Amino acid sequence: MYTRSGAYPPGIKTSLESDSHKWILKNFSSLNSNLKLEYKSLTKEDIPEIRNLHKEWFPVSYSENFFEEIGGSLSSVAAVINPKDYGDYSTNHSVICGSILFKITDQKNPKFHNTCYISTFGVVEALRGKGIAKELILECKRVCRSYSVTQMSLNVITYNTQAIKFYEKIGFTKSRTKSNHYLIEGETFDAFEYVYFLRRQSNISFFVKSFLPKYIKSIFNA
Ligand SMILES: CC(C)(COP(=O)(O)OP(=O)(O)OC[C@H]1O[C@@H](n2cnc3c(N)ncnc32)[C@H](O)[C@@H]1OP(=O)(O)O)[C@@H](O)C(=O)NCCC(=O)NCCS
């Protein structure tokens, strides 16, 4: 069985590597009529599966060190299915449908703005076009806001029109072209850098949103 990803050079199909993807294909008709997803951070236990999904999605091979950073300097959000919701009690593992891995700078000095770099981002082919990627980006933005991030960025290989259309649709803008950014099977490819600016919350609006509701509640509970 094969799968496709726009990140691979055109025309290339890759073999199905991930148990999550196999489970999704096996249960596709139930999922199609009732897709129940949860969003969570990845843990060390998810590394073998996320490594296999990365082989399906990306022609670049990521080192073990990269995956070991998950939960440390590499933040993550994954869209997952609980097989028990579909009557499958044979496994305790959640089925990963998509993931976004990103790094946020942690400037201690509030004068400096934090930034977020999206390292990898993908959705299992069988579940594309259902808004999962859009939701993953929203979850990532939520994390970014809690770290006062003002700019998100990512690189996309120039032939990946699938991803480019998606990023432009959700408001990312192309900022520059990086020549020979990727090396795939001995051939170099350019990348587009895309950016998204998040509005910095003023101190007053941060106070109103974060503390005022709790403050008001505590007055009424007093
Ligand atoms: C890019 C990718 C993550 C998009 O995932 P997805 O779950 O299919 O995207 P969504 O369903 O959330 O789409 C959100 C919006 O973008 C649009 N969109 C998504 N893919 C599109 C495409 N190929 N062409 C045009 N629009 C597209 C959708 O129509 C949708 O718009 P709507 O909200 O108006 O309906 C997915 O195609 C993927 O995993 N590709 C392989 C890995 C990859 O290339 N990753 C990016 C590396 S930089």
pLDDT tens-digit map of 59-81:
999 999 999 999 999 999 999 99
pLDDT of residue 112: 77
Summarised one tens digit per residue, pLDDT across range 134-163 is 999 999 999 999 999 999 999 999 999 999
Contacts 24+ apart (CB under 8 A), 45-48: 45/93, 46/70, 46/78, 46/94, 46/96
Summarised one tens digit per residue, pLDDT across range 73-113 is 999 999 999 999 999 999 889 999 999 999 999 777 777 78
- CATH number, domain with residue 174: 3.40.630.30
Cα–Cα nearest to 41, from 145, 170, 118, 140: 140
Using a 6 Å CB cutoff, which residues line ligand 1?
5-7, 57, 121-123, 128-134, 156, 160, 162-163, 165-166, 169
**Model pTM?**
0.89
Tell me the best of 4, 162, 164, 174 to mutate to test the pocket of ligand 1, counting ligand atoms within 8 Å of each CB and taking the most: 162
Q: Do the beta carbons of residue 88 and residue 27 sit within 8 Å?
A: yes
Give mean pLDDT, residues 178-199: 96
> What is the count of structural domains for the chain?
1
- Containing structural domain, residue 53: 2-221
